[in-house]
Every structure is written in structure tokens, then in C-alpha cells.
Chain A
Amino acid sequence: MTLLTLENMKTDIGQYSVLHDVSFSVPEGGVFVLLGRNGAGKTTTLRSIMGLWKPSPGSVRFRGDDITDLHTADIARKGIAYVPENMGIFGTLSVAENLILATAKGQFDQNRLDRVQVLFPALKTFWTKQAWSLSGGQKQMLAVARAIIEPRALILIDEPTKGLAPSIVAAMAEAFSEIAETTTILLVEQNFSFARQIGRDMAVIEDGRIVHTGSMADFVADKALQSRLLSLSA
């Protein structure tokens, strides 16, 4: 079943046209990877889904509803979480405050809290610390934890492995696989070796256009296609 559909999305930032024609569908369940090199329009795609930039023309449909013109906050309330490239951590707030802020009612659901703390034990250690004092990896964990502390149908994640140590990337891959069992993830990456571990379906974006869509398994098998589309796996 299709969860999210982008149709002919064109997004301008100021006077610059960043996305020219982006269409793809994210099926429910698993990890969908959007690959592309720097400046290809990955971040803009996610921001356009979140309503932080408004595409025109083009549409975003989520579970069949048109959400293109909704306010960012209302899009989030439909069940979409967003983990931006800079992680969007509130540095002056404590780890606990960062998390409780993300709950709809202002209190934790014990089951979900337990799950988050099992997934990311480090957060419990720094529970009352101000978030700016966390390491890069811990911040990334907090950002992801914040996205799953409420039940969501879809999580948009922007280059979570950027600048992280290999051991942390491995832990992250594990966590994502586990999260993906219950929640669909739309992951934006240029780190192909990370993306191939966890991705089920995928698309490639280049210069603001989708140039390939298909399953990750097929893509991994087709070396010729890879070398044509990705000079970015390094």
C-alpha cells in the first residue's frame, strides 16, 4: 500500500529553482532511500513534504489526503516526523525536555519511553543534561528518539550518518531496521554503503529530478546502473 506520493513537485527557493520535477511513491513499511549527491535536491524534497517550502506546482499526498497546502504543524500531526540534517536539537533544553516537547500531550507514554531508552541507552545517562553538551552521535540519537516518542506513520530522516564514526553508524543502522518494523522511514542519503544495508525501495535524484526508482535489491545487483547513477558511493 502506498503511504506517501509526490507528484510533479517543483520547488523554488527565492528565485532559484531547486526541484524541477520530483515524483515517487513511498510504500508503507520498511526503509525507502532517496539517494543523490550534494545539491541534488534531497533536503529540499524533505522540506517540501514537511511544508517548510511550498512546491508549486505539484502535490504531496499522504495516506490518500492532499497535504500540499497544510501548515507544517498540521502535516506533523498527520503522523509525519522530521529529523533534519542539522538534527534540530534544542541545545538549551535538557534531553528530557527535548523528548517531552515532542509528545502531543506533554507526558510520556511509558511503553514508548521504555522502547526509546532500550534503543538508545545513552540518552538515559544524559537525561537531565542540556542537549548542546551531547556528542554528535548522541544528538542524532536524540533526534531520532524524538521522532518516535509519539506514534508516527512516517519518519523523514536527512543524512543521519554525516560526520558520525563507523561504530555509531552501525548502531544507527540497527536502530533504523528495528524502527522500520513498525514505522515507515524515508531516508535521504549519499552514503550508499549505509543505505544499501537498510533500504528496501529506493529512488535516485539528480539536479532536482528523479532519475531512477526501484527496489534496493535490484539496484545493488545492477552494477552498471550503479556506476552510471552514483559517483557518490565513496
Chain B
Amino acid sequence: MQQISNTLERFGGVNLLPLLLAVLAFLLIGAPSSWATLTVAGLAMGMMLFLMASGLSLIFGLMDVLNFGHSAFVSFGAFVAASVLSALGGWLASDSITLNALALTFAILAAMSFGLIVGWLFETVIIRPVYHDHLRQILITMGALIVSEQIILAVWGGNPITVHRPHFLEGAWIIGDVSIEIYRVFAFLLGLAAFIGLYLVLNRTRIGLLVRAGVENREMVEALGFRIDRLFIGVFMVGSALAAIGGAMWAGYETLITPALGGEMMIVVFIVVIIGGLGSIEGTLLGALLVGLTANYVGFLAPKLALASNMILMIIILLWRPSGLRPAAK
């Protein structure tokens, strides 16, 4: 047993899990074309989940702050983007790819700016007074989530809203008998870009060095002369903005959004960070891909189990590794 795990560790250890899952699914599904479609869908979903969850994980890692209101940024992102897209409906309808792309860019930028600004407000007004008090932190961020949901209901109403996608992301590529939706590829690439960006900032810059050190030992970084609380505002804003972008992408993916979106995604996002282990973006990526793939495979193989599948996945992984797959060292 020890030998097997050692060998596994040498080849990448837990990072291989998504691959293992894909192979297993391939054997169970049997039909390569369906498998390919599902895998693409799973990867796209995983990358969007990564966008939504990475901030939550880093915020927790750096400051021990668990923000139950995080999913509010996901739903705000979705609704802001939907509003921008619908306001720019003329551009979306035109045949010009430039106008199409511009509309999409504006929508994502709007969601992102919203996340940055409201994230800053949220951090200074809501979270700051309760930094070291977990109980009140959970209660207050939960209260903030309730208020945010109510604001969405008040502003956008309770009815589902249709999200317009830019023209050039509609449709699918057909390769042989495999059909791949373009939007999914786009979502995957955007998430991947975000991951690479985060990875480079964390591993190649001084701020990233401070964040990594802070996740490991906040007190020591402060004793070396750096204000973690100021760094934390930045991380919080970026994390919130990423969640909002994730929400915007999710809106385009679902094409029909309701105010319940935040609550639904909150559960999934939590499962992602629990599986991945809190505090590291590599862990979050791993958790997100596992959840995305599992949801799609199980949805195809045993639709009745689809909703419980995330939960089962979480229980299995927690039994195996109580702190998640790749938690940040503490």
C-alpha cells in the first residue's frame, strides 16, 4: 500500500485524480463521442467553478476569514453581466465580431469592477470588525448574504432573466461525431488564463511571495514588517472580482438565471474548496475540476444521482484526507 502511494506521489499524486476520473468515466460510458462532449463540459464547468472558488480559498488561507457572502459576488456578477449584455443588445445582434467581443468584454469588465468595488466595501465595512471572531464572522457574512439576495430580488425581480450570448460564442464545433460547444471552450480558456495569471503572481512576484508566506504564518510576516491586513484587502478584492467574473461566465453558460443562483452555487463552491483544501489555488483547481467532471459524468450515467454526487465525492475525499486534497501548509 505504502509503495503504491509512493509511486503515485512520484507521478503527481492527487493531481492525477481528474485524469483517473476521466479514464474511469471513459470505461463506464463506452461511447467516445459522448465521453468527449461530457469531458469538455466538465472541464468548462470546473474552470468556472475555479473562478468562483479561488478567491474564497485564498481569502480563508490568508486571514482565516470564511466569507459565507462570497456567493453573493457570483450572483451579482451574473446579474450585472446580464444587464450589460442586454443593454448592449444591438452590438450583440450585429454581425461584427468586434462589436460582439466588445459587448462581452464590457459585460465581464462590469462584473469585475463591481466585484472589486463591492469587495472593497464588503471587506472594510462587514468583515474588518470581526477578523478574529469566527462565530460572528460566519453570522455576519451570512447576514450579508441574505441582504445581498434580497437586494438582487428588489433590483432584478424574482423572475428568471434571459442572458444574451455574443454571436461568435454560439453554436458548436463538430469534429468527427464529437460536438464541442464554443462557449464551453471559451469558458475553459478564460478560467485557465485566470489560473495561470494567479499562479504567476503568487509564484513570481513579491506580493505573491508575501501572500504565500502570509497563508502559512500571518503573524511572522507581520513580525517581519509587513501589514497583512492591507495585503488582505487586495486579495479580498481580487477574489471577489474573480467570483463575479465566474458568475458572469456562468450566466452565459446557463443562459437563464434566477436570484436563487447564488445560493445554489454557494454549496458547490464550498464543496470545491473543501475537497481541494483551503488556502491553495492548486487545491481549488483540483477540487473544481473534480466537481465539474463528476457532475457531468454522473449526470449522464445516473441522472438521479447527479445532485448527490458532489456530496458523495466530498464525503469520500474527506474520509481519505480530512483537510482536503491539497490544503495550504499551516
Contact flag (A, B; Cβ within 8 A): yes
Give residues in A with beta carbon < 8 Å to B: 50, 52, 71-74, 76-77, 81-82, 84, 88, 90-93, 97, 100-102, 104, 106, 132, 146
State the main secondary structure of chain A at its contact with B: mixed
Pick the contact of A73 from B206, B226, B329 — CB < 8 Å?
Answer: B226
Q: Are B210 and A88 in contact (CB under 8 A)?
A: no
A11 to B168, CA, bound (A): 65
A52 and B219: CB pair below 8 A?
yes
Q: How far is the CB of A54 from chain B (nearest CB, A)?
A: 13
CB distance B220 to A84 under 8 Å? yes
16 contacts between A and B (CB under 8 A): A71-B227, A72-B219, A73-B225, A73-B228, A76-B222, A76-B225, A81-B223, A82-B223, A88-B220, A91-B329, A92-B328, A92-B329, A97-B209, A101-B221, A104-B225, A106-B206
Identity of the chain A residue whose Cβ is nearest the Cβ of B203 in the assembled complex: A97
User: Least Cβ distance of B107 to chain A in Å?
Assistant: 37
Cα A50 to Cα B213 with chains together (Å): 19
Q: Pick the residue among B206, B212, B219, B226 that contacts A88 (CB under 8 A).
A: B219
Residues of B at the A interface (CB closer than 8 Å) are 206, 209-210, 212-213, 216-217, 219-228, 328-329
Chain A: minimal CB distance from B108 (Å): 32
Tell me the bound Cα distance from A146 to B226 in angstroms.
Answer: 14
Contact of A90 with B225 in the complex, beta carbons under 8 Å: no
CB contacts (< 8 Å) of B219 on chain A: these are 52, 72, 84, 88
CB distance from A35 to the nearest CB of B (A): 23
- Let me know if B223 and A50 touch, CB within 8 A: yes
Q: Chain B contacts of A82 at CB under 8 A?
A: 223
Which residues of the partner chain B approach A132 to less than 8 Å between Cβ atoms? 329
What is the chain B residue whose CB lies nearest that of A92?
B329
The answer to whether A93 touches B223, judged by C-beta atoms less than 8 angstroms apart, is no
Q: How far is the CB of B104 from chain A (nearest CB, A)?
A: 37
Q: Taking A97-B209, A100-B209, A101-B209 as contacts, is the C-beta distance between A90 and B217 under 8 angstroms?
A: yes
Task: Decide: A90 and B222 in contact? CB cutoff 8 A.
Answer: no
Contact A84/B209 with A91-B329, A132-B329 known, Cβ cut-off 8 Å = no
Closest beta carbon of chain B to A143's beta carbon, Å: 9
Min CB distance, A105 to chain B, in Å?
9
Note all chain A residues with C-beta closer than 8 A to B226. 73
A4 to B227, CA, bound (A): 23
Q: How far is the CB of B73 from chain A (nearest CB, A)?
A: 28
Which A residues are in CB contact (< 8 Å) with B209? 93, 97, 100-101
Across-interface contacts of A92 in B (CB, < 8 A): 212, 216, 328-329
A90 to B228, CA, bound (A): 15
* Bound CA–CA A154/B314 (angstroms): 49
Report, nearest first, the 4 A-B pairs whose CB atoms are least far apart: A88-B220, A76-B225, A72-B222, A82-B223
Is B210 within 8 A of A101, CB to CB? yes
Residues of A within 8 A of B222 (CB): 52, 71-73, 76
B residues in contact with A73, CB < 8 Å: 222-228
> In this complex, which of A91, A92, A100, A132 has the most chain B Cβ atoms within 10 angstroms of its Cβ?
A92
Docked complex Cα distance between A106 and B219 (Å): 19
Bound-state Cα–Cα, A97 to B212, Å: 11
- What residues of chain A lie closer than 8 Å to B210, measured between beta carbons? 101
Interface pair A90/B216, CB less than 8 Å apart: yes
Docked complex Cα distance between A102 and B228 (Å): 14
A91-B219 Cα distance, complex, nearest whole Å: 14
In the complex, chain A residues whose CB is within 8 Å of the CB of B213: 90, 93, 97, 101
Give the one of A81, A90, A91 with max B CB within 10 A: A90
